[in-house]
Amino acid sequence: MFRPTMRPPQRLATPIVTTLLVAMALCSAQDPIPKGFTKQDQLRGSITREREWWDVLHYDLALGVFPDTKSLKGSNTIAFKVLKDGDRMQIDLQPPLKITRIVHGDRDLEFAREGKVYWAQFAKPLAKGTEDKVQVFYEGRPVQSQRPPWSGGLSWRKDKLGNHFIATTCQGIGASIWWPNKDHGYDEPDRGMDIRVTVPAALTAVANGRLLSTKKNSEDKTRTFHWRVVNPINNYGVNVNIGNYVSMQSVYEGEGGKLDLEYWVLAHQKEKAREHFKEVPRTLAAFEHWFGKYPFYEDSYKLVVVPYLGMEHQSSVTYGNGFQNGYRGSDLSKTGVGMKFDFIVVHESAHEWWGNNISMKDAADMWIHESFANYAENLFVEHHFTEKEAQDYVIGCRALISNDRPIIGVYGVNRSGSGDMYYKGGNMLHTMRHILNDDAKWRKVLRGLNSEFWHKTIGTSEFEDYMSRESGFDFRQVFDQYLRTAKIPVLNYSVADGAVQVSWSNVVPGFRVPVVLSINGKARRVTIAEQPTKIEFDGKLESFKLDRNFYMSVKAEK
């Protein structure tokens, strides 16, 4: 297997490409490009003809990391199955990194670059049903992340003792910011991934899955760390972290048996981490209760200290919250409840179920990852503290909602929706739970989602259909309201002749849900549609309130 030597990459010669390949790159016709987007957006975000004919089975990434020159050199061997005859493959790699060679069997393939995409041309169409592989060699100085994890690329940092402290981040911008792959959420490697990272001998490289071996390379004073993931993994969940790491091991007795826990921290952080990371077992306990078995027992659970806040890398959750509770030491809900737990441990671990187990097919459906991870914070609080505190927390976070644009983004161009997918999405799910008014069924639906879509990529429509079918309540208009518009339902009420008349406004057509109202201090559960509904009561109306667990507004009409 190819292992990059620790010789820094040289200036690349321009690859030789045929006139035919150049012409093909320039005329790769696709569907019409949505207004405001570019062809590059479409090539990145859609299932192109050059992607759809092959299915990724396995990635084998072999990577040399050069801290002194802030550069990379390596290869990715892509094993795939041919779904239909095809001879032209799209491989994604973003500048300034460059592909230098693509090998298929015993011959080099011709290839051409079009922006962030490479077109690899096979000598003849590959036959449907066959399995094959290509090895893609690449090198260069990757984009440096300016604001990880919100911007992608490499973070070339130093720890407080002056040691190299390096990490990758790529959510949104795509894994092709640092390694060549099929950079679209719909296709994950069915048979997992091998990650082989070569670094200076004084450093340790931590990646996803389990560490199979560490090899000393005496010829260039380096070490190669070989990690293996046996489960499917989404591209942006792949990560490499490099530093003066030491590891601590533990075991969690969970629904799936013994789950190996590993904590990779900098050497000087060991004692602090040993105490603080007691947060992990209780986080897993809460989420296995609500969502079902941890999805990656075979690959273990790791918490890895990094030089940024944290991210949901599969089986390798990254952590930079300073060994403190809250979000950087503050409570996002402003209720005090947020200081009862470490936000990064809880939120990012929730993504093992929502984002890593169940993954979006298209970036427009990122809400599936983030709305549920946000909502999971509330469920964690309920599991370990009280139902009231859990409600205080999720409702307190409503102050962070902007209602600027829809939560679902634009399909086919790698564009997610509003950042409201976090707090508004969490409050939508909290509202849905109270619409259903059956906690046992609600929990069954949450666990059922993770069972039905175990290690799968899905879209919003599949998600909606399952939740409505299994809950027994038609949530279609609720999803339309909260995901596809930026409007919040308004409950209008007026009083006449000993009755309160209520109706909705600011809602999608057909919006009809039950809510809990308090009229003169007496709670009533009432189903309200767009057409006015009368609720009779005795005496004078002294108070009218909507239960706080419903994310809606109330307006009195004269």
Local confidence band at 2 (pLDDT 50, 70, 90 cut-offs) = very low
In order, the DSSP letters of 454-484 are: TTEEE-HHHHHHHHHHHHTS--HHHHHHHHH
Whose CA is closest to 314, among 329, 303, 325? 303
Q: Where in the chain is the domain with CATH 2.60.40.1730?
A: 1-191
Architecture category of domain 490-556 in CATH = Sandwich (2.60)
Model confidence at 9: pLDDT above 50: no
Q: Where in the chain is the domain with CATH 1.10.390.10?
A: 349-484
pLDDT in tens, 138-182: 999 999 999 999 999 999 999 999 999 999 999 999 999 999 999
187/174 Cα distance (integer angstroms): 13
Q: E-assigned strands of 209-305? A: 210-217, 222-229, 240-243, 245-254, 257-266, 301-305
pLDDT in tens, 427-480: 999 999 999 999 999 999 999 999 999 999 999 999 999 999 999 999 999 999
57 HSE (CA, 13 A, CB side): 13
Write down the pLDDT at residue 16: 40
Mean pLDDT over the full length of the chain: 94
Mean pLDDT value of segment 93-114: 98
Class of domain 1-191: mainly beta
Joined tokens for residue 119: 């077109």
pLDDT in tens, 285-305: 999 999 999 999 999 999 999
Write down the pLDDT at residue 30: 60
Return the CATH number of the domain spanning residue range 349-484.
1.10.390.10
Joined tokens for residue 298: 């075979």
162/171 Cα distance (integer angstroms): 28
Phi-psi region of 476 (alpha: psi -120 to 50; beta: other; left: phi over 0): alpha
Model confidence at 33: pLDDT above 60: yes
pLDDT in tens, 527-556: 999 889 999 988 889 999 999 999 999 999
